[in-house]
Amino acid sequence: MTSVQIRTALTLFEQQAEQHFLKGNYSQATSCYEQAIEAEPEVKSHYWNLGLILLLQGQEAEAQMSWMLGMTEGTAQQVEQWTVELIEVLQREATRRERLVDYTVAWAIRQHMREITPTEVNNLLHLIELSIKLETFTGEELTNFGIIELIQSEKIVDIQLLLQVLESILTYAPLHPSALEYVEASLAYIRDSKSFINILIPATVKIAHSLRQPTIAARLLELGLRLEPNSQPILHHLAAFYLKFGNYSQGIETAKLCCSLSDTSLDEVFATHLLQRGLMDAPDYWQEACAILQQQESRLMSLIEEQATNIEPANVLRLFNSNYFAPYLRDDPQKNRQIQNQVAQLCQINVQEYASEKVQRYRQQALGGRTKLMKIGYLSHCFSNHSVGWLARWIFQHHDRDRFQIYAYFINYKQVFDPLQEWYVQNVTQAYKGGIYSEDIAEKIYQDEIDILIDLDSITLDVACEIMALKPAPVQVTWLGWDASGIPAVDYFIADPYVLPESADEYYKEKIWRLPQTYIAVDGFEVGVPTLRRDHLDIESDAVVYLSAQRGFKRHPDTARLQMKIIKEVPNSYFLIKGLGDAEAVQKFFIQLAEEEGVAGDRLRFVPLDQSEAIHRANLGIADVILDTYPYNGATTTLETLWMGVPLVTRVGQQFAARNSYTMMMNAGITEGIAWTDEEYVEWGVRLGKDKALRDKIACQLKASRQTAPLWNAKQFTREMEKAYEQMWQRYIEGCS
């Protein structure tokens, strides 16, 4: 046989081997390559391919033997070249397997590549990516493989792969210490900072909120600032994370930097909202917060007058809650609602412009395919250990499942164990564990053919606002969280005879649906073992103890001054203060205020937050009187106070937020402590402090009310809500006919 004929035969062997290999006929392929080696032993590719096929059959020792045979009798330079060729063969097959989503085999091949060239960084990056896809990644691999050190010293790194792995790590194991090290090591290779930031920000939002680790999220964003020190998106989120984990001074400083760097009116609006958030958790800054509110409203009115369209979706999202703090600063519902309604309308115009195709599809929802049972969907990011989560659970418990199917749409589903979140998952017809993307959740609501969608978040969450503006359900309602959003796509706002005055119809965009008695009811609260004792706080047993347990947002200086006047007028009285906020600033504020009002500083006690809600409720028993906030009342705290039988003094206003405690007291059968003016607030505070018999009477009434009052009859309340839903649906049907 001539050399040409031999070469032709060998080519045929190779072609047959390739065909057998691709079909998975490994034994035939093995035979072909063995014949090729016998005929042409000097051709090294035969050894590499034979070893690969043996490896795929699980014959690892035989595979390695084949590769070693191919390397024999070569010089150092030849062995180096042959190793490169072998790696190319393995690399090609690993890549093919990855395209076929055969990750287990791809991982096995790359492990052998690692044994051959343990410091080839791109192969190691592929191994990390594969282990994440196989869900075997622990984070330790970054250390065990020496990847971080290699990245720091390696000059040839696949940048796209580096970013891909970075995104995967931040998605799969963001809390592992090595994740932060990996991000830091990657910075030197980043040429397109925008791509890096687009990976970093969504990941840190999830870390801060879903995983409840804002400190780690902030550290990651601080790394991002090394690339772009003046990046508005990074600084915006960074300020929010600082505030979330209580670093108020740095949060305020970062928010002010955002303001100084703003070069558009929209940027100024977003930065100002963030700055307000920081300032209002520290009472010393309230005057500045009030001044900023006026600036914010002026900017918003300019945007409204411009009727700005073509606003980027991310900016529209942030615009929804840009005037969130107005009701904390003043009780002027006509002005607050006018601005909020116009902002919400502007946002909806933009949403329905950039998502026009989706909005049009949602508008064409057909009634014919609807099931016999009405589908009620609840939308919230608070189906968890949150005030809204504790209150809303009762309607879920009492819903009539013979008449309604109940769906829960979780925004930013928490990736940590939360018993209340799991309770919600178990107590609905279907739970959708959504992320932070509005359109995904809206599409699911639409596909589920929800009849009535109930938003529990209002403008406390921008994602919820965008979902409601898309209008994925034919009837949409706001209930429980904050106030009405003003979004035109929302049809109704749930209220009752007390929480809104009759004049409210004039300035609400939504139709106010007043339930006959109360807009909220619970069957009670879990109560733990108290941890606060008077003797531990150096308070006499016969002293009168006042308590205010609210976050910094609600501590309006004018109301705090009224509280000091009460303490001054009641001998042997003490004031306990606790709640979220800048603890140091809150203490400084109240001590200075006490001095101005002639109250000794040793009559104030600043108590830490409790370990759980159940312990917090138990600790309310240390108080003789609870002093409510104004113009933004307590809500959950008021319900807890009344359940624990503690007298409450509240100042009633005109806006929803200033009438929460009023409606709850009325629905618990208590009028003592309801004040309509500042003077009455002080009078009730002093009277309840001095009159133990009156306090005892109220405590007895509250205890008895547990058996009779609408506030504590969640089952009856649920029936009233269900009746409202049926009437809303009937109106919708009639409007379609």
CATH of the domain at 459: 3.40.50.11380
- Please check the confidence at residue 655 and state whether its pLDDT lies above 50: yes
The residue from 189, 224, 253 where one domain ends is 189
What is the CATH classification number for the domain harbouring 181? 1.25.40
Look at residue 616 and tell me if it is in a domain: yes
Query: Tokens 């210490």, residue?
Result: 177
Do 346 and 374 lie in a common domain?
no
One domain, residues 362 and 339: no
State the pLDDT confidence band at 11, using cuts at 50, 70 and 90. low
Phi then psi for residue 501, to 5 deg, are -70, 165
Q: 330-334: long-range contacts (C-beta < 8 A, 24 or more apart)?
A: 330/293, 330/631, 331/630, 331/631, 331/653, 331/654, 331/655, 331/658, 332/654, 332/655, 333/504, 333/507, 333/654, 333/655, 333/656, 334/506, 334/507
Q: Is residue 725 part of a domain?
A: no
Q: Is 498 found in the same domain as 620?
A: no
Using the predicted structure, report yes or no on whether residue 541 has a pLDDT greater than 70. Answer: yes
Residue 625 inside a domain? The answer is yes
First to last CA, the chain: 90
| pLDDT band with cut points at 50, 70 and 90 for residue 4 | very low
SS (H, E, C) 343-356: HHHHHHHHHHHHCH
Q: Does one domain contain both 405 and 491?
A: yes
Same domain, 70 and 166: yes
298 lies in the same domain as 436: no
Which of 268-272, 391-395, 664-668 shows the lowest mean pLDDT across its residues? 268-272
**Is residue 368's pLDDT more than 80?**
no
Is the pLDDT score of 57 beyond 50?
A: yes
Q: Is residue 368 part of a domain?
A: yes
Does 93 map to a domain?
Answer: yes
With a cut of 70, say whether residue 330 has pLDDT above it. yes
CB atoms within 10 A of CB 533: 10
Q: Are residues 590 and 506 in the same domain?
A: no
Residues 481-493 have a mean pLDDT of 95
d(CA 46, CA 86): 10
Instruction: Flag whether 365 is in a domain.
Output: yes
Structure tokens that stand for 330 in this block: 């003043």
CA dihedral 608, 610, 611, 614 (to 10 degrees): 180
Q: What is the pLDDT, as a whole number, of residue 370? A: 58
- 68 occurs within a structural domain: yes
**Do residues 500 and 542 share a domain?**
no
Summarised one tens digit per residue, pLDDT across range 233-275 is 999 999 999 998 889 999 999 999 999 999 888 899 999 999 9
pLDDT digits (tens, 9 = 90+) for 144-176: 999 999 998 877 788 999 999 999 999 999 999
400-419: burial string, b at 16+ Cβ within 10 Å, e else: eeeebbbbbbbbbbbbeebe
One domain, residues 279 and 374: no
- CATH no. for residue 665? 3.40.50.2000
Same domain flag for 583 and 675? yes
**Quick check: 12 pLDDT over 70?**
no
Whole-number Å distance between alpha carbons of 387 and 349: 32
Question: Does residue 722 carry a pLDDT above 70?
Answer: yes
What number is the average pLDDT over the span 98-103? 93
If pLDDT is split at 50, 70 and 90, which confidence band does 5 have?
very low
Report whether pLDDT(409) > 50.
yes
Among residues 304, 237, 231, 229, which one has the least CA distance to residue 266?
304
If one counts the domains in the chain, the total is 4
Residues 364 and 286 in one domain: no
Can you give the residue range of the structural domain that contains 57? 3-189
372 occurs within a structural domain: yes
Domain termination residue (choose one: 174, 189, 204): 189
> Which of these three, 514, 544, 565, is where a domain ends?
514
What digits encode the pLDDT tens for the residues 681-700? 999 999 999 999 999 999 99
Question: Do 626 and 545 share a domain, yes or no?
Answer: yes
Work out the mean pLDDT of the chain and round it to a whole number: 92
User: What local confidence, expressed as pLDDT, does residue 367 receive?
Assistant: 60
Rounded to two decimals, what is the model's pTM? 0.87
Whether residue 7 is predicted with pLDDT greater than 50 in this model: the reply is: no
